[in-house]
């Protein structure tokens, strides 16, 4: 049996991965992976704030990229 994480589980995995600096980036990745209704699933202040905080804590900028505070309003 092939277990695919739920959209919220996957969003947390992506936020902790160090590859995403913003919530928008996570949403784009989820859509690219075939998840549907991403905006509906990741709606809400508490969830959005938690994912943003994880992105800030874990993001590793590629060599040569300057890290600035994201201006992410979704």
Number of domains in the chain: 1
Q: Is residue 63 part of a domain?
A: no
| β strands within 1-74, DSSP E | none
**Full residue range of the structural domain in which residue 25 is found:** 7-58
Q: Is residue 52 part of a domain?
A: yes
Q: Is residue 67 part of a domain?
A: no
| Contact of 32 with 47, CB cutoff 8 Å | no
Angle (nearest 5°) at CA 50 between 3 and 9: 5
Judged against a pLDDT cut of 90, whether residue 1 lies above it is answered with no
Residues 21, 69: Cα–Cα separation, whole Å: 9
Q: Is residue 43 part of a domain?
A: yes
pLDDT digits (tens, 9 = 90+) for 14-66: 999 999 999 999 999 999 999 999 999 999 999 999 999 999 999 998 888 76
Q: Is residue 35 part of a domain?
A: yes
Angle (nearest 5°) at CA 21 between 17 and 24: 105
Place of tokens 């943003």: 52
């Amino acid at each position: 049996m092939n277990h695919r994480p739920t959209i919220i589980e996957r969003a947390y995995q992506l936020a902790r991965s160090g590859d995403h600096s913003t919530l928008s980036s996570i949403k784009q990745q989820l859509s690219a992976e075939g998840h549907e209704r991403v905006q509906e699933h990741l709606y809400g202040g508490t969830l959005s704030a938690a994912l943003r905080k994880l992105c800030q804590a874990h993001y590793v900028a590629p060599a040569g990229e300057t890290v600035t505070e994201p201006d992410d309003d979704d």
